[in-house]
Amino acid sequence: MSTLPKKFISRVSQSNLFTQNSNYFGFSPARISPFARHLYDLAVLWGCQGYIEIYQNDQDQAWGRLKSSAYDGQGRFIEAYAHLYHGRVQNDATATTNEAKRAMQDPLVIVTFQPGSFPAANPHDVAVIEFVLNHDQYIGRTGKGKGPVNLDRIRSGVIGRIKLAKGKFL
């Protein structure tokens, strides 16, 4: 049994702008189609469990878990991402080679936790699947892509898409 922290949820939903925001990051419905079953499986897993395990150390990464985006790889706080979580869409445990495992690291799913409609009936937040994107579009590319100007641009784009949805979900 895992000792990771759990974020208890009342249900799983999808942002009202999931398709538009994913498309902004290059994930059209046709490009999402091969991953649709994986997204569905994540939603079912989380909904049936009633919680999502949250990990911080990469060695604890596993399909079905989310990582807080509040800190970068060097442990620096990222205010823009303080309330965002990300995880793998695909289950790379089935990969038979390191190359296949690397190929399955993208896309990422971005998740927020929003208050539910009836907090008195169920005080837990709703896990909202906001959109999908690639690692480079979320944390920058290794090298010059991790420069402060580029990271600010990337983070502004991500947060701008979250704000467009205004916490509305299906």
Q: Is the pLDDT of residue 143 over 70?
A: no
pTM, two decimal places: 0.91
Question: pLDDT tens digits, residue range 46-86?
Answer: 999 999 999 988 899 999 999 999 998 888 899 999 999 99
Residue 160's pLDDT band (cuts 50, 70, 90) = very high
Longest dimension (CA), the chain: 49
Question: pLDDT tens digits, residue range 5-38?
Answer: 999 999 999 999 999 999 999 999 999 999 999 9
- Residue 98 host element (H or E): helix 98-103
Q: Is the pLDDT of residue 147 over 80?
A: no
Six-digit token string for 28? 């059209």
Q: Tell me how far apart the alpha carbons of residues 23 and 30 are, in angstroms, rounded to a whole number.
A: 10
Residue the block writes with tokens 């208890």? 8
Q: Is the pLDDT of residue 145 over 70?
A: no
At residue 80, the pLDDT reads: 92
92 or 155: whose pLDDT is higher?
155
At residue 93, the pLDDT reads: 83
When pLDDT is averaged across residues 94-108 and rounded to a whole number, the result is: 87
Q: Where are the domains of the chain?
A: 6-165
Query: Of 13, 18, 67, 5, which Cα lies nearest the Cα of 43?
Result: 13
